[in-house]
Amino acid sequence: MERCRRLVREMGEEAGHPLKAIAVTFGCQMNARDSEKLRGILREVGYGEAESEEEADFVIYNTCTVRENANLHVYGRLGKLVSEKRKKPHLVVALCGCMMQEEQVVEKIRRSFPVVDLIFGTHNLFRFPELLLMALSGRKRVIEIWEGTDRIVEDLPVERKYPFKSGVNIMFGCNNFCSYCIVPYVRGRERSREPEAILGEIRRLADDGVKEIMLLGQNVNSYGKTLAEPVSFAELLKMVCRVDGIERVRFMTSHPKDLSDALIEVMAEEEKICRHLHLPVQSGSSRILAAMNRRYTREKYLGLVGRIREKMPDLSLTTDIIVGFPGETEEDFRDTLSLVREAGYDSAFTFLYSKRTGTPAAKMEDQVPEEVMHERFERLLEAVKETAEERCSRFTGRTMDVLVEEVNKEPGYVSGRISHNLTVHFPGSPDLIGSVVPVKLDTCKGFYYIGSRKETV
Ligand code: SAH
Ligand code: SF4
Ligand code: F3S
């Protein structure tokens, strides 16, 4: 670190201004959290924060490869950096994250993008300071990718995006191998952090003013199974709720196959746990679910939703759905539409199936033609919109606690979220940011509310 810091200082003197860096995130919350670690390291070695690539002396893209589009986007951004580097020859460009765990991607970058100076993957992020030093001092390309790891490195420096909320990794990797999904190949096997390490981090965050935490894992419901002394996710949640200062606890993502009744109990009992569950269904057809290797049926999923709703009737339920998985027929798709209506989602992330090289689904016959996929996608959006709008409006007229997160584009307004994860915009001053205040939800505009505050004396 020290040597890196000295080098950055010297390079800044040479350039005639203190150096600035930008870390751009693609993909999921895990990647967002990793980027906070990258930013923490960049700050430690002396880089200031740049607002854009144009302003930066160091650019790092933390990439995602879950769908083809994510990859194309990165190539597009890299193309633009070529002209930046012409203007600023001292510009250093780095790539990391999930895309880099794919051999053919690294090969393509090696061949077609000489603009890139440093490449590393998901397993050796903690080596960023050393790799950065190598890239800065040698001025030759540094590439280090690990096939996998069983290590969990604690205590990396972190630069949080929000002072009042934070993600906390509870586990890394995934063992589920859903047949369409690349994540287990690029993130490796499932590894859980020790509960004490998690709780220690959360206590430190609480001391630092954090009120809301989001526990992160590809499948949080299987947390703790591989620990020397196994701890269930429900047990971990209970412990997390005991940390003073933390007011809200969220988590992501729950796989339906591992969601236990004990977890439903804990959610219902613990007031700090937010009234929101993201429960990806992927498809409403049991036949397609089997081909996806999801290991639950439509009936089991709906049964689970029923049990959850029984205990927490006003819970917000959200999901992920893939349209056009290989072999999906019109009938299978209609099963998805009817499930959307039956489950009553508050919102859903809908995706066009994207073929990922190396996954079993990529080799399946009956890939669904593009135009059929697009037509179904539109119909699905319509169905989601209908049910979600109806459901989201259920709190109209009620006063609810809002954690204020940011100023709104609309002058004089701020925005925040209720426990159920719905967004509320209301007139208020920026000094409310980071606090929890009661707001009356006056009107529902589809997926968000416009609210107002009673003036406090
Ligand atoms: N671990 C989480 C999701 C990780 S990826 C879970 O199991 O829920 C986030 C979402 O991307 C998935 O839920 C899925 O809906 C979507 N996705 C993953 N692979 C995809 C692919 N090949 N094509 C389209 N969507 C995909
Ligand atoms: Fe991918 Fe399935 Fe693992 Fe989620 S649970 S990351 S969809 S393999
Ligand atoms: Fe993408 Fe990697 Fe997350 S592939 S969705 S960034 S785990």
pLDDT in tens, 256-302: 999 999 999 999 999 999 999 999 999 999 999 999 999 999 999 99
Ligand 2 nearest atom to the CA of residue 253, by list position? 4
Site to substitute for ligand 2 among 180, 182, 183, 189, most atoms within 8 A of C-beta: 183
Residue 198, token pair as written in the block: 């998690």
- Pair of tokens at residue 312: 């927490």
Looking at all shown ligands, the one closest to residue 30's CA atom is: 3
Contacts of 406 (CB under 8 A, 6+ apart): 414, 415, 416, 433
- Among protein residues, the one with the nearest Cα to ligand 3's atom 3 is 28
3: left (phi over 0), alpha (psi -120 to 50) or beta: alpha
Cβ–Cβ under 8 Å, residues 3 and 131: no
Quote the CA–CA distance of 451 and 437 in Å, as a whole number: 12
Rounded Cα distance between 140 and 206, Å, is 42
Kindly report, residue by residue over 41-51, the tens digit of the pLDDT: 999 999 999 99
Here the tokens at position 62 are 């933390």
Q: Is 183 in the pocket of ligand 2 (CB under 6 A)?
A: yes
Question: Are 280 and 180 contacting, i.e. CB atoms less than 8 angstroms apart?
Answer: no
**pLDDT per residue over 356-365, tens digit each?**
999 999 999 9
For residue 456, the model assigns a pLDDT of 55
Q: Give every CB contact of residue 177 below 8 A, 6+ residues apart in sequence.
A: 184, 293, 360
Q: Is the pLDDT of residue 124 over 50?
A: yes
Prediction pTM value: 0.95
- The Å distance, Cα 229 to ligand 1 centre, comes to 30
Write phi, then psi, for 31 (nearest 5 degrees): -65, -35
Instruction: Find the range with the poorest average confidence among 163-167, 236-240, 390-394.
Output: 390-394
Which residues, judged by CB distance below 6 Å to any ligand atom, belong to the binding site of ligand 3? 27-28, 30-31, 64-66, 98, 183, 186-187
Q: Which residue has the tokens 């959850």?
A: 308
The Cα 443–Cα 396 span in angstroms is 6
Interatomic CA distance for residues 314 and 321, integer angstroms? 22
Query: Mean pLDDT across the stretch 17-32?
Result: 96
What is the atom index within ligand 1 of the atom nearest the CA of 361? 22
Q: Would you tell me how many other CB atoms lie within 10 Å of the CB of residue 162?
A: 16
Find all residues with CB under 8 Å of 192, minimum gap 6, and list them: 170, 171, 217, 223, 224, 225, 226, 227
- CB contact burial 345-383 (16+ within 10 A = b; e otherwise): bbbbebbbbbebeebbbeeeeebbeeeebeebbeebeeb
How remote is the C-alpha of 190 from its chain's centroid?
Answer: 17
What tens digit of pLDDT does each residue of 312-351 get?
A: 999 999 999 999 999 999 999 999 999 999 999 999 999 9
The band of 457, judged by pLDDT with boundaries at 50, 70 and 90, is very low
- The arithmetic mean of pLDDT across residues 400-408, rounded, is 97
Average of pLDDT values for 115-124?
Answer: 96
Total Cβ atoms within 10 A of residue 181: 21
- With H, G, I as helix, E, B as strand and everything else as coil, classify residue 90: coil
HSE at residue 122, side-chain half, CA atoms within 13 A, is 28
Residue 150 — very low, low, confident or very high, per pLDDT cuts 50/70/90? confident
Tell how far the Cα of 122 is from the centroid of ligand 3, in angstroms. 10
Cα(65) to centroid of ligand 2, in Å?
13
Distance 327 CA to ligand 1 centre (A): 18
Token pair of 128, please?
A: 């960023």
Sequence-ordered list of residues with C-beta below 8 angstroms from that of 16, at least 6 positions apart, any chain: none
Ligand 1 binding residues, C-beta < 6 A: 66-67, 180-181, 183, 218-219, 253, 255, 280, 282, 320, 322, 351, 353-354, 356
Q: Are 45 and 15 in contact (CB under 8 A)?
A: no
Q: Which ligand is nearest to the CA of 27?
A: 3
Q: How confident is the model at residue 137 (pLDDT cuts 50, 70, 90)?
A: confident
Segment 80-102, tens digit of pLDDT: 999 999 999 889 999 999 999 99
Strand ordering across the sheet containing 248-252: 165-169, 212-216, 248-252
283 Cα–ligand 2 center, Å = 14
259, 224 Cβ separation under 8 angstroms? no
- pLDDT score recorded for residue 140: 83
Choose among 122, 121, 120, 145: nearest CA to 133: 120
Mean pLDDT estimate for the chain: 95
Rounded CA separation 172/187 (Å)? 7
> Distance from the CA of 280 to the center of ligand 2, in angstroms?
10
- Is residue 138 over pLDDT 80? no
- 149 or 113, which is more confident: 113
Angle between helices 330-343 and 298-311 (to 10 degrees): 10
98 CA distance to ligand 2 middle (Å): 14
